Chain A
């Protein structure tokens, strides 16, 4: 493998154990993927499926009590077990993250200019004056109107969409290699969502970053990433090229997610399909397939052990014992 094609970030068998009020919980199990420079990966799943915990594990921002196992390599260097001070040199510099809530992700007491300049000042050691110049350029690039004038304004003086642009500028300040966007548009108005996603996509392409986009919205995933992983109960139940997964959904859960999305033009009175049952408690996961209790085609053997991932196509893996049946169903799922 030549250097150019070596993975930029490589995650192998990542596990995260959290201490919750209900006891220890295995929030993430056996997550593996590799991302080359410029590639984009989507993580999709319901709340509590472990997608945000995976992201925080990559950032090294889990609570002290969390136990991380497996391996995360950035350019070949191991990140799991790295000291916090070493991690601080990477965060905001080589790996950046955009969070879900732009309304609360900014410090209300500091000007936005100061907050965007902070990673620059910290990682590049540039002067206050040049950091300010760079900050204005960044704010301009993310489409904040009147950047030069508004750099000294406070977060409360901006709308949600503008604040998300500001957090994007902050995340990109040091030209990171990897950008993790955790539900970057969930808290925004629908009209703004598209603009923000386009902006992120443009910047990812322009700067040759790798991106991990986390969303519960299949539409967002379909349009913005090359590959996707569907997570459920802390495990990846399906992964593959976005097209391939949408074309031939292999896991009953992926199919359920797809059917459960609301559609325009549906006949009046049509009830939205939901996935029966609730997300399992992470503190109390079943022994076998995590989806077994909600699955329509579950068999006894599904409950014995966590199914292994099986290849159903080029780079398309499904963690299911019944792909023979589910893949036959899948054709129906895609027909809109």
Chain B
């Protein structure tokens, strides 16, 4: 078991190194010098050169890469070209919004998807199945920003239950913050839930055809007991795999949704930094997103081993 986790950790580290290399090289290869960008097209070449030196952009590629890696180790990410404040602080203050947003949308996704997926599989080919599956078809086709606008029209404009945007922060307790993240997380969750519900349904249906389901029935278990005790755990492997992959989509979705709802989160920070050529912020934010995705998938891998006793042995 510990060997299994160790191997997964090594894979995790290797993936992160590969991600950092790609992020660094791609951003470095981008046309447009950051210094030139910051000073405008009319700046004198001397001034641009001075800023380039000041930002350390004249150093060799390897040196700058290693410097960045070292900085990440100690939490020194440098200063934003635009704001002039430490990047670490910028990111940290955005994370208090984006992390809860991601967690809330993931929770809504999982609850909706499992409920719909299990319900439809248990009522395979019946009216409820067909109805819910048609809904998920619509859900998959919805662009999340458009759905977000519909939600704003209904809940903020018409019913006036929730605000149309902005973030209340966590200073006045947990509820105002959650309230302001409710619509954004629902808009992020709906598409994901529709996909995951379909995955859950087909996973459950597949397991229902397995021989051991018939064995369980032959032992005298009712259909429902078989579903809960024997089928679900077996069906969770593909569901969790997709959940891990969806987490990446979800983070990408925050970039759009945070802009729709005027939320000062990580997605908005990335969006603005790209627009401003604040490459040092972009680079660290993208690296952080990559790390989050890789970590979530690492957790999924480890959970596999807890769910399925065969995996520990197979990977030793």
Residue numbers of A with Cβ under 8 A of B are 59, 61, 84-85, 88-93, 96-97, 99, 101, 104-110, 118-119, 122-123, 154, 156-157, 167, 170-171
Q: Using an 8 Å CB-CB cutoff, how does the interface string of B148-187 with A read, 1 for contact, 0 for none? A: 0000000000000000000000000000000000000000
B206 within 8 A of A: no
Contact B223 A122 (CB under 8 A): no
Contact A104 B219 (CB under 8 A): no
Contact A61 B217 (CB under 8 A): yes
Query: Which residue of the partner chain B has the closest CB to A167?
Result: B215
Q: How far is the CB of B129 from chain A (nearest CB, A)?
A: 14
Contacts of B214 in A (CB 8 A): 61, 99, 105
B36 within 8 A of A: no
Query: Which residue of the partner chain B has the closest CB to A116?
Result: B219
B313 within 8 A of A: yes
Stretch at the interface among B57-65, B244-252, B303-311: B303-311
Please report the C-alpha to C-alpha distance between residue A109 and residue B232 in the assembled complex, in whole angstroms.
10
Contact B218 A91 (CB under 8 A): yes
B216 within 8 A of A: yes
Please report the C-alpha to C-alpha distance between residue A110 and residue B219 in the assembled complex, in whole angstroms.
15
Contact A154 B309 (CB under 8 A): yes
Please report the C-alpha to C-alpha distance between residue A96 and residue B313 in the assembled complex, in whole angstroms.
32
Chain B: how many interface residues by the 8 Å CB criterion?
Answer: 21
Please report the C-alpha to C-alpha distance between residue A171 and residue B215 in the assembled complex, in whole angstroms.
9
Please report the C-alpha to C-alpha distance between residue A106 and residue B219 in the assembled complex, in whole angstroms.
12
Q: Which of A59, A84, A110, A118 contacts B222 (CB 8 A)?
A: A84
Q: Which of B219, B308, B309, B313 contacts A92 (CB 8 A)?
A: B219
Q: Which of B215, B222, B223, B308 contacts A99 (CB 8 A)?
A: B215
Subset of 25 A-B contacts with CB under 8 Å: A59-B218, A61-B214, A61-B218, A88-B221, A88-B222, A96-B218, A97-B218, A99-B218, A104-B211, A104-B212, A105-B214, A106-B212, A107-B230, A108-B308, A108-B309, A108-B310, A109-B234, A118-B216, A118-B221, A122-B219, A123-B220, A156-B310, A157-B313, A167-B215, A170-B215
Interface residues of B in 259-316 (CB under 8 A from A): 307-310, 313
Interface residues of B in 195-231 (CB under 8 A from A): 210-212, 214-223, 230
B233 within 8 A of A: yes
Please report the C-alpha to C-alpha distance between residue A135 and residue B151 in the assembled complex, in whole angstroms.
56
Contact B211 A109 (CB under 8 A): no
Contacts of A123 in B (CB 8 A): 220
Please report the C-alpha to C-alpha distance between residue A160 and residue B66 in the assembled complex, in whole angstroms.
55
Contacts of B219 in A (CB 8 A): 91-92, 118-119, 122, 170
Q: How far is the CB of A333 from chain B (nearest CB, A)?
A: 36
Contact A109 B307 (CB under 8 A): yes
Contact B234 A108 (CB under 8 A): yes
Dominant secondary structure at the B interface: helix
Contact B308 A109 (CB under 8 A): yes
Q: Which of A84, A105, A107, A154 contacts B234 (CB 8 A)?
A: A107
Please report the C-alpha to C-alpha distance between residue A108 and residue B311 in the assembled complex, in whole angstroms.
11
Contact A85 B234 (CB under 8 A): no
Please report the C-alpha to C-alpha distance between residue A320 and residue B217 in the assembled complex, in whole angstroms.
38
Contacts of A84 in B (CB 8 A): 222-223
Contact A156 B230 (CB under 8 A): no
Query: Which residue of the partner chain A has the closest CB to B210?
Result: A104
Contacts of A106 in B (CB 8 A): 212, 215
Contact B313 A109 (CB under 8 A): no
Instruction: Report, nearest first, the 7 A-B pairs whose CB atoms are least far apart.
Output: A92-B220, A92-B219, A104-B211, A91-B220, A154-B309, A119-B219, A107-B212
Please report the C-alpha to C-alpha distance between residue A84 and residue B224 in the assembled complex, in whole angstroms.
11
Contacts of B211 in A (CB 8 A): 99, 101, 104-105
Contacts of A99 in B (CB 8 A): 211, 214-215, 218
Contacts of A157 in B (CB 8 A): 313
Please report the C-alpha to C-alpha distance between residue A110 and residue B221 in the assembled complex, in whole angstroms.
15
Q: How far is the CB of B67 from chain A (nearest CB, A)?
A: 48
Contact B217 A91 (CB under 8 A): yes
Contacts of A170 in B (CB 8 A): 215, 219
Please report the C-alpha to C-alpha distance between residue A89 and residue B216 in the assembled complex, in whole angstroms.
13
Name the residue among B219, B234, B310 with the largest chain A CB count within 10 angstroms: B219
Q: How far is the CB of B205 from chain A (nearest CB, A)?
A: 13
Contacts of B308 in A (CB 8 A): 108-109
Q: How far is the CB of A310 from chain B (nearest CB, A)?
A: 36
Please report the C-alpha to C-alpha distance between residue A85 and residue B222 in the assembled complex, in whole angstroms.
7
Query: Which residue of the partner chain B has the closest CB to A123?
Result: B220
Q: How far is the CB of B217 from chain A (nearest CB, A)?
A: 6
Q: How far is the CB of A214 from chain B (nearest CB, A)?
A: 14
Interface residues of B in 18-34 (CB under 8 A from A): none
Q: How far is the CB of A229 from chain B (nearest CB, A)?
A: 22
Please report the C-alpha to C-alpha distance between residue A89 and residue B221 in the assembled complex, in whole angstroms.
9
Please report the C-alpha to C-alpha distance between residue A122 and residue B221 in the assembled complex, in whole angstroms.
8
Q: A101-B211, A156-B310, A156-B313 are in contact. Are A119 and B220 (CB under 8 A)?
A: yes
Q: A92-B220, A109-B234 are in contact. Are A156 and B309 (CB under 8 A)?
A: yes
Instruction: Give 15 A-B pairs besides A109-B233, A109-B309 with Cβ atoms closer than 8 angstroms.
Output: A85-B222, A88-B220, A97-B218, A99-B211, A104-B210, A104-B211, A106-B212, A106-B215, A107-B216, A108-B212, A109-B230, A109-B308, A119-B220, A156-B309, A156-B310
